[in-house]
Structure 1
Amino acid sequence: MATPMTASQFLTALRDEGVTVVEVGDWEHHNRSHKGPWGPVHGVMIHHTVTRGTANTVQIVKDGYSSLPGPLCHGMIAKDGTVYLVGYGRANHAGLGDPDVLAAIIAEKTPPTDNEATADGNRHFYGFECENLGDGKDPWPDEQIKAIVKVIAAICRHHGWTARSTLRHLDWQPGKVDPRGPGMQWDDILADVSARLGTKPPTKPAPTPTTPVVDLSKLVAAAKADPAASGTPVTYSGVRTVEAALVDAGYLAKAYSDGHYGTATIQAYAKWQRHLGYTGADADGIPGRTSLTRLGDKYGFDVVA
């Protein structure tokens, strides 16, 4: 737990750790702090972008989307290891996550498996998006991994934290899979951060999440129920998994990845069906076995009937 660094301290900490930094526009004052508090901070969260091309990615994380305004992080870590600072203060990167995970990060312990989404992560975490397609195949170059380690170490060093004050998006919010792909070895990253800080590496490895499983019948039932978005409990946890995939596919805004298979999710899934070549009643936004399996194959979940 700590008071956030000032923007000047943040920049200095990164540069002192050897991070190659590019300042983008008026990043020091670009934030979403008018929408909620920023701080106290408890750790650093790492994401992948599901984008291609550094310039395009910087623009996206800086400006965001109409339904999810930027900044979408504090810094974007490019393939070559350059860190582009796009915002500072509250940013739309973490969203709601598991309060038990938050408690573990505060205590600098191994986080439990996330199964809730009720705690405000945008308030409590520094966020870094990393340029990667997020398909589980796009590799993570050594330069990018080294930059991730330096960024984490810089922030932990300033606040007196250990490597256990770091988490992935997949540790925080049910249904998320980022970051992933060849070269993304989280235990090695935590060990390297500890080495830079001169502390002992975590005694327990970060948990390796099992592949999420989505039950088609339960998902269809949730889709047909079309629950209201406000005040309605999540009807089936697999909805979050599918919504996370639709976000990664670019068909659903993050703001609507809420566990409710409502109108926005139906429209997004219909776009996925049309992408696969379905038309008419076959592209109505209600999942079928083939379309759901293909979505899972691409974005990291299994399907059962």
Structure 2
Amino acid sequence: MATPMSANSFLRALEEEGLVVVQVGDWRDHHRNAKGPWGPVHGVMIHHTVTRGAARTVEICRKGYSGLPGPLCHGVITKDGRVHLVGYGRANHAGLGDPDVLQAVIAERALPTDNQASTDGNRHFYGFECENEGDGEDPWPAAQLEAIVRAITAVCRHHGWSARSALRHLDWQPGKIDPRGVDWDDIEARISKRLGIKPPTTTLPPPKRPIVDLSRLVAAARSNPAATGTPVTYAGVRTVEAALVDEGLLAKGYNDGHYGTTTVKAYAAWQRRLGYSGKDADGVPGRTSLTRLGDRHGFTITS
């Protein structure tokens, strides 16, 4: 637990860790503090952006997009290893997550599996978005991985934290898979080495793949909450909505577990992206389209 460092201290900590820092616009005063508190802080969260190209990635993370205003993080780590500061203060990066995970971060111990989304992470975590498409194929250059290590180390060194104060988005919020393709055990070990402390001895378990029941999902998609007042929903809806958010087809604010009209439209857009049209792109999931989505976002289909 700590008070957030000042913007100038944040910049200085990154530079003193040997990072090349790019200051973007009015980053010191660009935040979401009017929407909620910033601090106390407990750790550093790492994400991937599902974007390609440094300039576009930085612009999206600075401004946000429809339904999710920026900044979407504090720093953007591009593939060349530069850290672009786009905001400071409360940022729309972590969202709601698991309170048990938060307690583990505070205690600097191995993280439990995240299965709840009830605690405000935007208040409690520094956030770095990393330029990567998140498809499991887009590479993570050595310069970018080193920058991730140094950025986390800079924050941990300032606050006197260990590598256990760093976590991935996938550790925090059910349904998330980012940063996909990063060897987190290696990242933790390298942070510990830079901090001059013994690396954690207990490795994180591999994240469990969420399971989405196709028949229940179809029932949720075909429900009519406007008529009944009670949307048909279950945990798998949130998993699919999170994947649609990561695909840029659904605003993050609609990742609420209710397969309503907006989610139907977003899934129809996913079907059209796969080449479907007409009644085959009606927003009601089919096995093939859902399997394709699950393969990209790390969940398993059952019926």
TM-score class normalised by the smaller sequence:
over 0.9
Correspondence list, 1:257-272, <5 A = 257-272=255-270
The range that moved more, 238-247 or 95-104, is 238-247
Shift of 1:237: 1.2
Question: Please, what TM-score do these two structures have when normalized by structure 2?
Answer: 0.96
Paired-residue identity, %: 72
Matching residue's letter, 1:4: P
Structure 2 match to 1:296: 294
Shift of 1:210: 2.6
Structure 2 match to 1:196: 194
Structure 2 match to 1:153: 153
1:96 equivalent in alignment to 2:96: yes
Structure 1 match to 2:6: 6
Structure 2 match to 1:275: 273
Structure 2: state its 5+ residue gaps: none
Q: Classify the secondary structure of the residue corresponding to 2:69.
A: coil
1:77 equivalent in alignment to 2:77: yes
**Residue 53 to residue 232, structure 1, CA distance change in 2 (3 Å):** farther
State whether residues 54 and 78 of structure 1, in contact with CA within 8 Å, keep that contact through their aligned partners in structure 2: yes
- The alignment's C-alpha RMSD in Å is 1.6
Structure 1: state its 5+ residue gaps: none
Give me the whole-angstrom Cα distance separating, in 2, the residues matched to 1:233 and 1:158: 46
Q: Classify the secondary structure of the residue corresponding to 1:128.
A: strand
Give me the whole-angstrom Cα distance separating, in 2, the residues matched to 1:256 and 1:200: 42
The range that moved more, 246-255 or 36-45, is 246-255
1:247 equivalent in alignment to 2:245: yes
Shift of 1:32: 0.4
**Residue 233 to residue 11, structure 1, CA distance change in 2 (3 Å):** farther
Give me the whole-angstrom Cα distance separating, in 2, the residues matched to 1:42 and 1:203: 21
Structure 2 match to 1:120: 120
Structure 1 match to 2:105: 105
Shift of 1:234: 8.8
Give me the whole-angstrom Cα distance separating, in 2, the residues matched to 1:248 and 1:227: 25
Q: What per-residue deviation string (whole Å, max 9, x for no partner) do you get for residues 97-152 of structure 1?
A: 00010111011111110010000000000000000000011111111110000000
Q: What per-residue deviation string (whole Å, max 9, x for no partner) do you get for residues 82-110 of structure 1?
A: 00000000000000000010111011111
Q: Classify the secondary structure of the residue corresponding to 2:47.
A: strand
Matching residue's letter, 1:271: A
Question: Please, what TM-score do these two structures have when normalized by structure 1?
Answer: 0.95
